[in-house]
Amino acid sequence: MTRGIGKDTLWLTVLLWMFVESLSDNVWGYPGQGYYIEVEIGSPPQKLNVLLDTGSANLAVAAAPLSNVEKFFQSNISKTYEATGQSVSVTYTQGTWHGMLGSDLVQVPSVHASQVRCDIALIQESEDFFTNGSKWQGIMGLGYGVLAQPRGTTTSWLTAISPSAFALQLGCSSEENSMEVHGVLEILHPPFPKPPFCATIIREWFYEVIVTGVWVDDVTVNIPCEEFNNDKSIVDSGTTNLRFPRKVFQEVVKMINNSVRSHGINISDAFWNQESVACLDTKPETIFPSLALGLARDDGQYFKVVLDPQSYLHRDLENHSQFNCHQLALEPSDTGTVLGLVFLEGLKVIFDRTSRSVCFSSSSCGGPPVLLEGPFACDNDPMNCVHRDDVASALTAISVTMGAFLSVAAIIVAYLACSRFLHPYLCPVKSQWPRRSRSRRELLPRSSDLDLTTAT
């Protein structure tokens, strides 16, 4: 009898532990430097921190004493490391790394997934890739395998553990004035509750979705919806800001500018170009409008994600005495809409690979307030919003979605470029565009940002 109770208690403890375990913070970061998780690589295991990036698919770690890394992976002391002799290089708009491809046993102790063997790029040389103070020494790509380099042969960690879904909950509240941000990465196994706000993934490479509309304080950004997805729209945890195609960005900024001006407030153009912060004597929520994006579901309807100004303005924490200084965390892009951390923080986001959708629900961990609304009927077929050049391949992909459960492995990838971006927030930009003039740069406080667009 006593033993019976003991067993129950044990089970309860185990269940409770699993419950607590699954909700504990396991990812950390600093503003503008992305979120990282601890991984164990090799035998005996070597602990390293890797940036979580849904916009790429390689696991790559520092394997030499490079600048801005505190530690690195030593393959020569791992009994299970297997070299391939293949070299791999990735060049970004700012920054590059070169390394050797190998494989080893990898485990992420804080998630419920078994140890697996997967490919790892051992970074031997890098330039402007690692940042001072970021605390990560590598990168974990959580995108689809087709994005992995070298193409076609590389098995990412996610492919190796082959989960039906994973969830990211980012932007969890830290102590007041703390620079550190945190969140949770969970590997999900069915059955898991599926939130009602699911955007359909139209192609499996990046997590590519369809933006059906953009609203500034409920007023429609009045341009053809194809422009919102020119040339694609992706969900990317490796990007800090919310990036819009240039035309959309200009229109959105114009509308926010007008809304702010209607309160009798003038903000310099340098603010709208991310070149300076705006210091206000009131809370930004009282002056700045909300910003909403519509995302297409798989049934021809859409839902809205409504961001508070707190999400798209980032407090300038460089100067702790001035909490009312803000930086615009929206940016123009030449590679389509990028739903970066600005969009993801404050939500629980399930990347559901089995049902090809990215699902959103309110986060339970605090963070910026984000509203989810809908579903609403579309005036037009959301497929009309797909960038024209891509309609054929997207149609193929969506017919795969509709064909449910007839899972098809090969998905058309029309592009050779695999890109990701990591942009700063809170700290104004130092050198987002390489050619920005020195004098303009000097207007800005220190920042450590990455602009990583892979040139393959």
Ligand X SMILES: *[C@@H]1O[C@H](CO)[C@@H](O)[C@H](O)[C@H]1NC(C)=O
- Which residue numbers are catalytic? 53, 236
Contact map string, positions 115 to 144, toward ligand X, x by CB under 6 A = -----------------xx-----------
Q: Which long-range contacts (CB under 8 A, 24 or more apart) does 380-383 make?
A: 380/225, 381/300, 382/210, 382/212, 382/296, 382/300, 382/302, 383/210
| Residue 369 DSSP symbol | -
- Angle (nearest 5°) at CA 410 between 155 and 96: 45
- On whether the CB atoms of residues 49 and 73 are closer than 8 A, the answer is no
Among 264, 410, 434, 442, binds ligand X (CB under 6 A): 264
Considering the complex, state which of residue 332 and residue 375 has its C-beta at the smaller distance from ligand X.
332
State yes or no: residue 319 binds ligand X (CB under 6 A): yes
235 touches 209 (CB < 8 A)? yes
CA distance from start to end of the chain:
66
Closest contact distance (angstroms) between CB of 391 and ligand X is 32
Name which of 249 and 421 has its Cβ closer to ligand X: 249
Q: Identify whether the C-beta of residue 137 lies closer than 8 Å to the C-beta of residue 61.
A: yes
Strand order in the sheet with 207-208: 203-204, 207-208, 233-235, 337-339, 242-245, 330-333
Q: Which of 284, 361, 346, 293 is nearest to 315 (CA)?
A: 284
Nearer to ligand X, 323 or 376 (CB): 323
Does 18 bind ligand X (CB under 6 A)? Our answer is no
The answer to the question of residue 44 lying near ligand X (CB under 6 A) is no
**177 is a contact residue toward ligand X (CB under 6 A):** no
Q: Are 273 and 241 in contact, with CB atoms under 8 Å apart? A: no
Q: Which of 123, 160, 253, 418 binds ligand X (CB under 6 A)?
A: 253
Residue 257 touching ligand X (CB under 6 A):
yes
Q: Would you count residue 153 as binding ligand X (CB under 6 A)?
A: no
In this chain, which of 2, 162, 321, 439 binds ligand X, going by CB under 6 A? 321
Q: In angstroms, what is the minimal distance from the CB of 109 to ligand X?
A: 24
* Nearer of residues 8 and 125 to ligand X, judged by Cβ: 125
Give the residue with the Cβ less far from ligand X, 168 or 267.
267
Q: Tell me which residues touch ligand X (CB under 6 A).
A: 74, 76-77, 132-133, 253-254, 257, 261, 264, 266, 269, 272, 319, 321-322
